[in-house]
């Protein structure tokens, strides 16, 4: 009996030893999958919020520019019917605005783009008080217009005549138009984009409701912890994890919109943290099912080759996971993490006295390509850019995409002259022939910055110095190489 027990314990020990590497590897892969899912979700959120914020930045900048132009026109200064006709034509040609008008120093609207059926006074409005107090342009919160009767966001600026403040000119940005802009974006399940003014008043949300949550438009943002984090953060873009009162943990990614050196509004994207892990959960279930089958087979082959049959495939999966983590999905070159890892390893192996070079390049006017031809065409340009650059590189040179349209090359053991030659070859490779895209042929150029230094610098310092050289190329007119 004791012999049988010993044999069972020995069998259990053998099986345990055989299964342990598989269990450990499966847990590691699952953990890596969850971590990668989280990183990918936050990256996607940052990218989405950056696109949304870019549109809002453009709108705020456009509004302030329109105010400056209108404030200089004699038609606007005339106050009466002449002013009303001019502003009426302006808002008809700019549907982003519900109304525009001129206010005297007592708060009386003396000119309106929309017909005024009765006198209206805005002396009690915060935006009017702020303009009088600061004598500078201001972006106000969400309010119903006294003339338009529609919800809008007010932008206003003072008009000075003969050196004295005489009027306040305002533009009412249409909330309906902003909602149409937000509706263009496809959001993750149970996600919501919220815009808040500098005091935390909700300007608009998309979608307006998530499940049973009430609409917050025109009300203070209820989660004071989130609002404090958004308001007090020194970052322009910043993620935050928050446990809500409903017991669910959400991830917030937000961005400040600034105008006239002040915060005009905040754009926030909220999504369920559990939604991040749905794909990872499916992978984990598949992995567990596969592991169960593996355990059955392990019991059969435990004394023969259990360790060799199962451990090697798991190691290959781990290697694939590392490859995916270091590769940029769009261009199939190294991403920033992979580039930094390989460049740092190569730098550590540098021989004393050898000089290395870092090339940092940026596609010129890439935003214009996206705006005029669409983001899918921009993606085509990025892929072709990576292919052309790879075509002139050697295996010893480390190449990666480290930002949106920004690429970097680390060249170990190279002379200053050869680094410049390679940079020029890359510049010519991109600019010599137009790019063939689905939208037709597009001319593409690049600006290049070079840092050539001894290996006592860190990779971050190489990039920092190359970035300064890149900025020099841009200031010099772009499509050139600078040291």
Helix ranges, 72-152 (H): 74-77, 81-93, 126-134
Strands across the sheet containing 151-161: 109-112, 97-104, 164-174, 151-161, 138-144
Q: CB atoms < 10 A from the CB of 176, how many?
A: 13
What digits encode the pLDDT tens for the residues 95-112? Answer: 888 889 999 999 999 999
What digits encode the pLDDT tens for the residues 112-148? Answer: 988 888 888 999 888 888 889 888 888 766 667 778 7
DSSP string, 209-247: -STTPPP-TTSB-S-HHHHHHHHH-S-SEEEEEEE-TTS
pLDDT of residue 428: 95
Helix ranges, 105-199 (H): 126-134, 175-182
Spatial separation of the C-alpha atoms in residues 185 and 207, rounded to whole Å: 10
Indicate the length of the chain as a whole number: 483
- Compute φ and ψ for 261, nearest 5 degrees: 65, 20
pLDDT of residue 406: 95
What digits encode the pLDDT tens for the residues 223-261? Answer: 777 777 777 765 554 455 555 555 667 777 777 766 555
Q: Report the share of the chain in percent with pLDDT over 70.
A: 70
pLDDT of residue 4: 47
Domain 336-482: assigned CATH number: 3.30.70.270
**CATH, domain 177-275, list 1.20.140.10, 3.30.450.20, 2.60.120.10, 3.40.50.720:** 3.30.450.20
Longest Cα pair distance anywhere in the chain, in angstroms? Answer: 110
- Average pLDDT, rounded, for the chain: 80
Spatial separation of the C-alpha atoms in residues 303 and 14, rounded to whole Å: 7
Q: Tell me the pLDDT band of 397, cut-offs 50, 70 and 90.
A: very high
pLDDT of residue 316: 56
| Tokens at 348, concatenated | 């550590």
Class for domain 63-171, per CATH? alpha beta
DSSP string, 303-351: TTTHHHHHHHHHHHHHHHHHHHHTB-TTTSSB-HHHHHHHHHHHHHTPP
What digits encode the pLDDT tens for the residues 402-449? Answer: 989 999 999 999 999 999 999 999 999 999 999 999 999 999 999 999
pLDDT of residue 275: 65
Q: Contact, 131 vs 207, CB < 8 A?
A: no
pLDDT of residue 311: 43
Nearest in space to 437 (alpha carbons), one of 483, 482, 389, 378: 378
Name the CA dihedral angle for 342, 343, 349, 353, rounded to a multiple of 10 degrees: 170
State yes or no: pLDDT of 304 exceeds 70. Answer: no
Asked whether this chain's domains 63-171 and 336-482 adopt the same fold, the reply is no
Tell me 410's DSSP state.
Answer: E
Once rounded to an integer, what is the mean pLDDT over residues 389-393? 93
Give me the residue spans of the domains in the chain. 63-171, 177-275, 277-321, 336-482
Could you check whether the bond before residue 207 is cis, i.e. omega within 30 degrees of 0?
Answer: yes
List the beta bridge partners of residue 237.
255
pLDDT of residue 306: 43
List the beta bridge partners of residue 452.
357
**pTM above threshold 0.75:** no
Give the residue, 290 or 328, on which the prediction is more confident: 328
């Amino acid at each position: 009996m004791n012999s049988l027990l010993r044999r069972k314990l020995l069998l259990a020990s053998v099986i345990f030893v055989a299964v342990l590497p598989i269990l450990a590897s499966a847990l590691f892969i699952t953990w890596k999958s969850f971590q990668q899912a989280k990183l990918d979700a936050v990256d996607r959120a940052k990218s989405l919020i950056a696109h949304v914020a870019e549109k809002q930045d453009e709108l705020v900048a456009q509004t302030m520019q329109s105010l400056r132009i209108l404030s200089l026109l004699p038609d606007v200064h005339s106050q009466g019917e002449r002013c009303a006709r001019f502003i009426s034509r302006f808002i008809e040609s700019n549907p982003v605005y519900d109304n525009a008008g001129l206010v005297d120093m007592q708060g009386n609207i003396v000119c309106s783009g929309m017909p005024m059926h009765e006198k209206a006074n805005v002396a009690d409005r915060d935006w009017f008080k702020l303009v009088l107090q600061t004598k500078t342009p201001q972006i106000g919160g969400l309010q119903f217009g006294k003339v338009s009767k529609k919800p809008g966001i007010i932008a206003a600026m003072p008009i000075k005549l003969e050196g004295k403040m005489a009027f306040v000119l305002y533009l009412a940005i249409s909330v309906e138009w902003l909602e149409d802009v937000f509706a263009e974006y496809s959001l993750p399940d149970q996600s919501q984009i919220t815009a808040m003014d500098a005091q935390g008043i909700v300007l608009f949300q998309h979608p307006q409701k998530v499940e049973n949550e009430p609409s917050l438009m025109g009300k203070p943002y209820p989660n004071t912890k989130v609002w404090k984090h958004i308001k007090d953060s020194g970052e322009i873009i910043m993620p935050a994890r928050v446990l809500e009162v409903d017991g669910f943990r959400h991830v917030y990614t937000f961005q400040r919109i600034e105008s006239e050196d002040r915060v005009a509004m905040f754009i926030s994207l909220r999504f369920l943290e559990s939604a991040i892990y749905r794909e990872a959960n499916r992978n984990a279930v598949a992995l567990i099912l596969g592991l169960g089958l593996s355990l059955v087979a392990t019991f059969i082959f435990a004394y023969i080759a259990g360790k060799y049959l199962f451990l090697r495939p798991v190691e290959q999966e781990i290697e694939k996971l590392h490859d995916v983590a270091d590769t940029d999905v769009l261009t199939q070159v190294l991403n920033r993490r992979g580039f930094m890892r390989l460049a740092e390893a190569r730098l550590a192996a540098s021989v004393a006295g050898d000089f290395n070079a870092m090339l940092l390049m940026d596609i010129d006017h890439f935003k214009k390509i996206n705006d005029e031809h669409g983001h899918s065409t921009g993606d085509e340009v990025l892929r072709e850019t990576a292919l052309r650059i790879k075509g002139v590189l050697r295996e010893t040179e480390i190449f990666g995409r480290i930002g949106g349209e920004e690429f970097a090359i680390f060249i170990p053991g190279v002379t200053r002259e050869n680094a410049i030659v390679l940079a020029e070859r890359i510049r010519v490779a991109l600019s010599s022939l137009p790019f063939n895209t689905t939208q037709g042929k597009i001319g593409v150029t690049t600006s290049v910055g070079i840092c050539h230094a001894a290996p006592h610098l860190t990779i971050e310092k190489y990039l920092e110095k190359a970035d300064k050289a890149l900025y020099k190329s841009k200031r010099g007119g772009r499509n050139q190489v600078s040291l």
